[in-house]
Structure 1
Amino acid sequence: MLTRRWTSPSRRHRARAFCLGVLSLAVLALSACTPTPPPATPGPGEDDLTTFYDQELTFGSCVDYATSPSEEAALAIEAFECARLQVPLDYDDPQGERMQIAVLRVRAQGDPAERIGSLVINPGGPGGSGVFIGALASTGLAGTALLQRFDFVSFDPRGVAASLPAISCYTDEQKDLGQAKPTLLGTSGSWTEQDTATFVERCAEGSGGEHVLGAVGTRDVARDMDVLRAALGDEQLTFAGQSYGTRLGSVYAEQFPQNVRAMVLDGAFDPRQTNAERRLDLHRSFQRSFDQMAAFCAQQQDCPLGEDPARANQVFQDLVQPLVDQPVPAGEGRTADFGQVTGGVGSGLYDAASWPAIISGITQLRDEGRADELLTLNDNLLGRRPDGTWSNYLDATYAIGCMDQERQTPEQEAALRAELAEVSPFLDPGQDVAAGTRDACEHWPAEPTLDPPYAQDVEGLPPTLVISITGDPSTPYDAGLGLADSLGSGLLTVEGERHTVALERLSPCVNDIVDRYLIDLEPVAEGATCTL
């Protein structure tokens, strides 16, 4: 499930990693994983959490927190400072092993006397790097009222990017070949029970053990965030979460309502929905965005989907269904199959500004029988770097999803996949979806800890703000209504075609409402609406 990932400050189609949090979890047979990361560090023998809450963070250069040369260059800016937060791997055993959470901070730029505290963000995922994506996001906030009054703080959740140990399930080669299948598109692929069992074994081997795989759920991340709040010296948390970050925020609100000062939740996960319900709504919403894109395309000269938007699904299926069995060339010696090509289209659907890139990619597929452009869109969403290496975005998304989502039987999964293909025909692979359909988390070594509904009837929570965009393909508008109702939040409706808006500073209307709420705790007016 997946807000798309930001891959560089200049790419307007930045993928914020969010919607991959919806995981369709299709797993094919995999080969060896990457080497085991450093083990978690044993704790000093404390019998409670006092040592963790009382720790002092030692901030320094962020260069050592980069996971690639391109990230190293981006994090070398002097204003960025980083530290490692120590947390228990298992909160029921604080004397045991520790995890190290990578934290980035940008100091408030205004008068120190007017500093409010820290603004902690989560930009989405669940596998997105808060350190790297947060660094890019902070540059867009330079000079704003928010960065004048708050320290800007972001972090890599446990298992993600520079936090240790990090989840590692796939090699770069496997990702290049499209074998890393837990993506937002869940209508193709075939695997056996042995495939899923073998894969989880290799994921455990690459990540430091089965106990690590069972320790990366959102409930534990929320507890880490409360430890971070205390280590930053804040009595209460001021938080802005986007996409998956809305799930993290709502779980934090459920666990620590008394510790919340203010909370903006942008691009909502509905805490009342099951995983199956959310996946269906996700696919319906992406289909709506595809139809909108097709109508836009039909107005252009030589649209590759044709002049009649009503036939666009069939035209697209004719182009992409053969790729299930016969991938096409995609540059640099790579090929692209059905999942990678439809993934590229899905990536572009996150923002109407990327529709021309989708159309160009489909034109290349039609005219040249190649998918270089669509594969690039897919790579940008899933974490392939300019040097050809991959982040652990997919690995961590898979693992966190297995801890957050209820399991399904093969029969339930087959029925769901058939329904997904029905509600999102542009993603229909033209296959018998019942064959080889399984829940990829069926052999996960720990039970999920976030069965819905959660964050219901929360007492003692101050006013919070939910932002929901009418044309959001990844976290549909109605999910925002559900979250606002669950938490008793104020609701800001934004008319537009994209996924999330608060941290992107795209709308003066949204900026003003968010700033007044976070700085002055001014509630949003009932019925408030902005337009992109």
Structure 2
Amino acid sequence: MFRVRATLIALGVVSLALTGCAAPAESRPSPDLAEFYGQQITFEPCAPYATTAVDEKLFADTRFECARVQVPLDYTDPDGPRGEVALLRLPARGEKIGSLLVNPGGPGGSGMSFTAQLAPLWTAGPVNERFDVIGFDPRGVGASTPQANCFTDAEKDRGEDFGGQLVPDVPDAQAAREVARRCAEGSGGPQALASFGTTNVVRDMDVLRSVLGDEKLSYMGWSYGTQLGAMYAEAFPQNVRALALDGAFDPDLTSAEFNIAQMAGIQQTFDRYAADCATSADCPLGTDPTRATEAFQDLVRPLLQNPAPTADGRGLTYDAAMTAVTSALYSSSLWPKATEGLAELAAGRGDLLLAQRDISAGRGPDGRYSNSGDAVYAIRCMDAPRRTPAEQAEFARQVNAAVPFADPGLPVPQSHHECEAWPEPPTMPQPWITGPVDVPPTLTVSITGDPATPYQGGVNLARVLGGSLLTVNGSQHGIALLGQSECVDDIVAGYLIDLRTPPEGVRCDA
């Protein structure tokens, strides 16, 4: 489930891209953290911060400025080892309100790359007129250090990571120990690996707020970024100016419950896609939407034994095909890519679906991967409770029932949890918001047909935060400030700039 869950809100754009409790609610840092909150940073050209071929081109743009901010690996031991959070700044074009911190989702998404990709859009709009837009790479991600690294590029090419697997295949305790050992070794040691959880990222965000010179935080988060924003609100309510959250993680659900709800949402989107495809006589899934799941399985299940040939010789595996199709479901604008790829697969080739899988997996044209897949694994191992083998088998059965088009048709194995041997227990509370949060007005955007973060999650998050809800009629994952709805973008910009929330019950169309 990791690669599916890690699909970023940026995907549609590119293709068109602590301890166990929350931090104390303080306006001022404790004395032992004053050095971090008061540090001076120097912005510089961004080219040296690039970690992928795509970023090498993006970060050459002289409009961008980059810097690193020091943070403790362990906030309970501020005198211990340190990490660095890398950030990219798109300076405000006019009279500045302050900084707008942004996170694109994941976990594992690079805010630096996301901001650089969207800069041409944002520089023409009102938000960048009034804010320095700050994209940051959360600890473990991208240019930040230490960086999560578990699998090599060659192993990812061969499908030996967890990419595309709805439930990671870890056959025994020894395999769980081995993957934890490898992740620790590649990421800077056990302490570094155990530092990557969301609760620490939330505390890093408050350090960034201070270092950037903002008394209060203005923040825009998509997908997993909504979880970051809401947890920040609970941890530092006095430090909130504005939170705009799009594609909400549901605060009423445990991690496992959210995963099942997400799978059910993806199945519902597949059904809508199949109905749309069936209106064409040459739909590779046929013209009867009620048989689409069966038709899809007939196309992709043979890949379990015989990958489809591709021009580069890698071949299209079952897991790669699932990643490709699932990522294309994240926006109705990408549905034609799924149709073209499935039609090509029906004809015996896998090049188009492999290309879509590579975009989702962060594989660049030079064969290098971003570390988003490793980062989502490492971060969630410090977030989510671990399951016993029996619980893991039951979870796998629930996943297959929730998303039947992706059921491989194989017996459910008695596998071990992928995080079983992690060096420290998870640090994120369950539920991850412990109750109503008292903060200034917030804005949550929720799309009625969101495949990855079902609509009700936005309703629930707006309720917990006591804020406004903007309902959007559509079928995609994420929409705010992406240039896809003038109605949405105007409301979100008005909120971020003027703190103006929309009337109750307002709706926009995607």
Shorter-chain TM-score: what band? over 0.9
CA distance in 2, matches of 1:440, 1:508: 42
- Aligned counterpart, 2:498: 520
Counterpart of 1:99 in 2: which secondary structure? strand
Is the CA contact (8 Å cut-off) linking 1:3 and 1:242 kept in structure 2?
A: no
Distance 1:272 1:306 in 2: 38
Partner amino acid, structure 1, of 2:130: R
CA distance in 2, matches of 1:356, 1:313: 17
Q: Which residue, 141, 145, 149 being the options, matches 1:164?
A: 145
In structure 2, the residue matched to 1:270 is 250
Question: Which AA in structure 2 matches 1:402?
Answer: C
Following superposition, the deviation at residue 206 of structure 1 comes to 0.6
TM-score computed with the length of structure 2 as normaliser: 0.94
Task: Decide whether the 8 Å contact of 2:148 with 2:186 is kept in 1.
Answer: yes
SS in 2 for 1:241: strand
Query: Are the equivalent residues in 1 in contact too, given 2:101–2:134 (CA < 8 A)?
Result: yes
The within-5 A match list for 1:337-486 is 337-368=317-348, 370-433=349-412, 435-486=413-464
- The yes-or-no answer on 1:173 pairing with 2:151 is no
Query: Partner of 2:97 in structure 1?
Result: 116
- For 2:463 and 2:130, how far apart are their aligned partners in 1? 30
Partner of 2:91: 107
User: How many angstroms does 1:140 deviate by?
Assistant: 1.4
Per-residue CA shift, 1:313-338, capped at 9, x if unaligned?
A: 11111111122222222331102221
Output the amino acid matched with 1:324: L
Aligned mates of 1:402, 1:210 — CA distance in 2: 13
- Mark the CA change 1:443 to 1:74 in structure 2 (over 3 Å): closer, same or farther: same
Residue of 37, 49, 54 corresponding to 2:33: 49
The amino acid of 1:140's aligned partner reads L
Residue 62 of structure 1 pairs with residue 32 of structure 2: no
C-alpha displacement at 1:191, in angstroms? 2.2
CA distance in 2 between partners of 1:195 and 1:252 (Å) = 35
CA shift, 1:8, in A, is 9.9
Determine the structure 2 residue equivalent to 1:11. 15
Shift in alpha-carbon separation, 1:482–1:10, aligned structure 2, 3 A = closer
Instruction: Name the Cα RMSD after superposition.
Output: 1.6
Pair 404,233 (structure 1): closer, same or farther in 2 beyond 3 Å: same
- Which one-letter code corresponds to 1:204 in the other structure? A
Aligned to 2:27: none
Look up the equivalent residue of 2:419 and give its one-letter code: C
Deviations 1:84-119 (A, max 9, x none): 001111111111111011011111101xxx311111
Query: How far, CA to CA, are the matches of 2:404 and 2:266 in structure 1?
Result: 10
Q: What's the secondary structure of 2:470's corresponding residue?
A: strand
The AA in structure 1 aligned to 2:425 is E
Structure 2: segments with no counterpart, 5+ residues: 18-29
Q: How far does residue 182 in structure 1 lie from its aligned partner after superposition?
A: 5.1
CA distance in 2, matches of 1:297, 1:429: 22
Q: Deviations over 1:348-389 (max 9, x none)?
A: 000001111101111111112x21111111111111011111
CA contact (8 A) 1:253 1:455 kept: no
The 5 A counterparts of 1:202-351 are 202-351=182-331
Shift in Å, 1:509: 0.7
Q: Alpha-carbon deviation of 1:162? A: 0.4
Query: 1:127, 1:394 within 8 Å by CA — same for their partners in 2?
Result: yes
**Distance apart, 1:194 and its partner CA:** 1.3
Identity %: 47
- For the 8 Å contact 1:382–1:394, the answer to whether it is kept is yes
Q: How does 1:127-206 map to 2 (within 5 A)?
A: 127-181=108-162, 183=164, 185-186=165-166, 189=169, 191-206=171-186
Counterpart-to-counterpart distance in 2, 1:267 and 1:8: 14
Q: 8 Å contact 1:187–1:429 — kept in the other structure?
A: no
Deviations 1:279-310 (A, max 9, x none): 11111111111111111111113111011000
Contact between 1:481 and 1:491, CA under 8 Å: does it hold in 2? Answer: yes
Instruction: Indicate if the aligned counterparts of 2:6 and 2:373 stay in contact, CA closer than 8 A.
Output: no
Q: 1:388 to 1:342 in 2, by over 3 A?
A: same
| Deviation of the 1:188 alpha carbon | 7.3
Displacement after TM superposition at 1:419 (Å) = 1.6
The structure 2 residue matched to 1:74, chosen from 55, 58, 66, is 58
Aligned to 1:314, the other structure's residue is in SS state helix
Task: State the match for 2:471 in structure 1.
Answer: 493
Q: What is the TM-score when the length of structure 1 is the normalising length?
A: 0.90
Q: Per-residue deviation at 1:455?
A: 2.4
Tell me the distance in 1 between the aligned counterparts of 2:357 and 2:215: 41
- Alpha-carbon distance in structure 1 between the residues aligned to 2:323 and 2:418: 19
Distance 2:400 2:229 in 1: 31
How far 1:342 moved relative to its partner? 1.1
Aligned to 2:69: 85
